């Protein structure tokens, strides 16, 4: 029987340990929201789809920009993250942001056609990227805008200590037939990403690179033992794996114990 789309990712983003690992990282990625919203150039009354909306912060910020006559819909494959996003919206008294559990690669989402689709690091996990971006486009009004943030290369993002875990973890599974590789750095090469967007029918594709250094607490970059175990590090290798991560991050460590993380990301913009 053919595998359901994004089955492995669905499992991962609904796994308790994976999620607690991700939520430690959130303060780092949240720093790019103003840059993303600058590119989205939202206007009052517009409708917005946030793809892979996670804990909902960018959708809630977008809802604030489109105002009471507009709406932001956050769609995410993770049930616990959608619950968190709903909780945050309610706590902030935000009534024009709504969150749904959905695989954006295949789902038919209520609220279409949208004026703008945006995403903050939520588009790199589709196992059929062209299909997914075509599905996003199918939810847009003619002339609708797309803006998303993704990472530049791993080499340009030395804050990612996961790079030093390679010797301790099983290799990632090869993509199955008709599927593409996924992961945080999948869209690093601008020509490749522009090709995916063009292949799914988007036009006027532009990319803008950014660099921004952000100071963070150690646990934002260093994963705890339960997360290392989740990644596949054997119990007996935990101390060594952790030490490898600390060595990797040592050049970024400040005298106060925090880290200066140099982020290299890029914003892709396109039109329907």
Ligand X SMILES: C[S@@+](CC[C@H](N)C(=O)[O-])C[C@H]1O[C@@H](n2cnc3c(N)ncnc32)[C@H](O)[C@@H]1O
Position 120 contacts ligand X (CB under 6 A): yes
Comparison of 107 and 238: residue with beta carbon closer to ligand X: 107
Helix (H, G, I), strand (E, B) or coil at 66: helix
Q: Are 65 and 41 in contact (CB under 8 A)?
A: no
Calpha distance 84→53 (Å, rounded)? 11
Position 82 contacts ligand X (CB under 6 A): no
Position 185 contacts ligand X (CB under 6 A): no
Candidate list 24, 114, 116, 126; residue touching ligand X; CB under 6 A: 126
Candidate list 63, 84, 89, 104; residue touching ligand X; CB under 6 A: 104
Position 78 contacts ligand X (CB under 6 A): yes
Tokens in use for 78? 């993770």
Position 4 contacts ligand X (CB under 6 A): no
Position 115 contacts ligand X (CB under 6 A): no
Calpha distance 220→211 (Å, rounded)? 18
Position 54 contacts ligand X (CB under 6 A): yes
Least distance to ligand X from the beta carbon of 80, Å?
Answer: 9
Lookup result for tokens 């939810």: 139
Lookup result for tokens 């600390």: 246
Position 122 contacts ligand X (CB under 6 A): yes
Comparison of 91 and 250: residue with beta carbon closer to ligand X: 91
| Phi, psi at 149, each rounded to 5° | -105, 135
65, HSE (Cβ side, Cα atoms, 13 Å)? 21
Position 47 contacts ligand X (CB under 6 A): no
Comparison of 108 and 250: residue with beta carbon closer to ligand X: 108
Least distance to ligand X from the beta carbon of 255, Å?
Answer: 30
Q: How many CB atoms lie within 10 A of CB 9?
A: 18
Contact residues for 2 (Cβ-Cβ < 8 A; gap 6+)? none
Position 6 contacts ligand X (CB under 6 A): yes
The CA angle 20-179-28, to the nearest 5 degrees, is 30
Position 128 contacts ligand X (CB under 6 A): no
Torsion sign (Cα): 124, 128, 130, 136: negative
Position 26 contacts ligand X (CB under 6 A): yes
Position 157 contacts ligand X (CB under 6 A): no
Q: Are 151 and 122 in contact (CB under 8 A)?
A: no
Q: Which residue is nearest to ligand X (CB)?
A: 54
Candidate list 46, 70, 73, 103; residue touching ligand X; CB under 6 A: 103
Candidate list 53, 152, 193, 200; residue touching ligand X; CB under 6 A: 53
92, HSE (Cβ side, Cα atoms, 13 Å)? 18
Contact footprint for ligand X (CB under 6 A): 6, 9, 13, 26, 29, 52-55, 57-58, 75-78, 81, 103-105, 120-122, 125-126
């Amino acid at each position: 029987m053919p595998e359901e789309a994004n089955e492995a990712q669905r499992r991962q983003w609904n796994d308790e340990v994976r999620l607690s690992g991700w939520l430690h990282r959130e303060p780092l990625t949240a720093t790019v929201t103003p840059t993303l919203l600058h590119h989205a150039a939202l206007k009052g009354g517009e409708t917005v789809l946030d793809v892979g909306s996670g804990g909902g912060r960018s959708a809630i910020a977008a809802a604030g920009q489109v105002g009471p006559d507009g709406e932001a819909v956050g769609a995410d494959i993770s049930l616990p993250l959608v619950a968190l996003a709903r909780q945050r919206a309610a706590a902030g008294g935000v009534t024009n942001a709504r969150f749904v559990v959905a695989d954006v690669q295949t789902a038919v989402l209520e609220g279409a056609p949208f004026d703008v689709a945006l995403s903050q690091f939520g588009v790199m996990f589709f196992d059929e990227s062209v299909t997914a971006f075509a599905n996003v486009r199918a939810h847009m009004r003619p002339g609708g805008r797309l803006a998303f943030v993704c990472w530049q290369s791993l080499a340009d993002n030395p804050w990612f200590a996961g790079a030093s875990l390679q010797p301790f973890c099983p290799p990632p599974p090869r993509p199955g037939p008709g599927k593409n590789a996924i992961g945080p750095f999948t869209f690093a090469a601008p020509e490749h990403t522009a090709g995916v967007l063009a292949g799914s029918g988007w036009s006027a594709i532009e990319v803008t690179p950014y660099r921004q250094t952000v100071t963070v607490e150690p646990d934002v970059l260093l994963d705890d033992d339960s997360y290392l175990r989740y990644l596949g590090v054997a119990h007996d290798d935990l101390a060594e794996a952790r030490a490898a991560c600390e060595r990797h991050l040592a050049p970024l460590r400040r005298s106060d114990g925090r880290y200066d993380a140099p982020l290299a990301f890029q914003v892709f913009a396109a039109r329907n």
